[in-house]
Amino acid sequence: MRVSGQLPDARVRPALSLQRWEHLTFVHWRYPAEVLWPFVPRGLALQVLDGDAWVGLTPFVLGGLRVPGVPPVPRWSTFVEINLRTYVADARHDGVLFLRVHCARRAVVALFRAGLGLPYGYVPGVAGATAGQATYAAAGTRGEVEVGASLAPDGLVASLTGRWAAFTRHAGAVWRIPVEHEPWPLHQARLVSLRTDLFARAGLPDPVGDAVVHFSPGVHVRIGAPRPAAVLPHRSTAPL
């Protein structure tokens, strides 16, 4: 199985979408696997990293959204997105499973819900970043992050942040959406404050324990066409 890490497992050729992910914060918590299993589509395995399943809250600015060969629409193509996710695998790849996504563009929400079955919802939001701070605000979510020095990720951090596919169940099948970008430039970070209703909206209990937090100024991203996942014949847990 190709696994997560700092480098993409394959080039995305051709790309269906080009975009930037900017001012992005990874906030991760350990979760009991039995809490997350009901959210995992049949044919995928819940991934266990360092002995636990994980849930990540990832607010960021999606910038320059466009299709290849077409310039981005000024102002419209840049907006805030906040996703809540866990980590899963099929028989060949691992990746992200979105539990809930809040997005500040109605057309993007409609496209991803109808076309891919992804759990997108429209929520307006704003974000800002300076040399030492990042802030995010949307309906139901408000957070502030203190950004520290750059770091070289260890194996766990590289796996939590370096994900090269998203999985979704749609139209009676499980699909894998490939992703490619340069390695994340990561920084140490500290969660100064966080208030969010994303966990409740997704049907999850609130996290317990300290969060693992990292920040990135951003990467350039290529999104490929969905392709059928290599589904597993039985329910399982996939350790890294």
In CATH, the architecture of 17-228 is Beta Barrel (2.40)
pTM for this prediction: 0.96
The pLDDT tens digits of the residues spanning 182-210 come to 999 999 999 999 999 999 999 999 999 99
Residue 184: per-residue pLDDT: 98
Residue 61: per-residue pLDDT: 98
Q: In whole angstroms, how far apart are CA 18 and each of 23, 63, 180, 191?
A: 17, 9, 10, 30
Contact of 26 with 214, CB cutoff 8 Å: yes
Average pLDDT on 37-47 reads 96
Q: How far apart are CA 155 and CA 64, in angstroms?
A: 31
Residue 238: per-residue pLDDT: 64
Contact of 98 with 108, CB cutoff 8 Å: no
Q: How far apart are CA 135 and CA 193, in angstroms?
A: 10
Mean pLDDT, rounded, of the chain: 96
The pLDDT tens digits of the residues spanning 3-39 come to 899 999 899 999 999 999 999 999 999 999 999 999 9
Contact of 145 with 194, CB cutoff 8 Å: no
pLDDT at 237 over 90: no
pLDDT at 135 over 80: yes
Average pLDDT on 143-158 reads 97
Residue 2: per-residue pLDDT: 73
Q: How far apart are CA 63 and CA 21, in angstroms?
A: 6
The pLDDT tens digits of the residues spanning 98-133 come to 999 999 999 999 999 999 999 999 999 999 999 899
Provide, rounded to the nearest whole percent, the portion of the chain with pLDDT above 90.
95
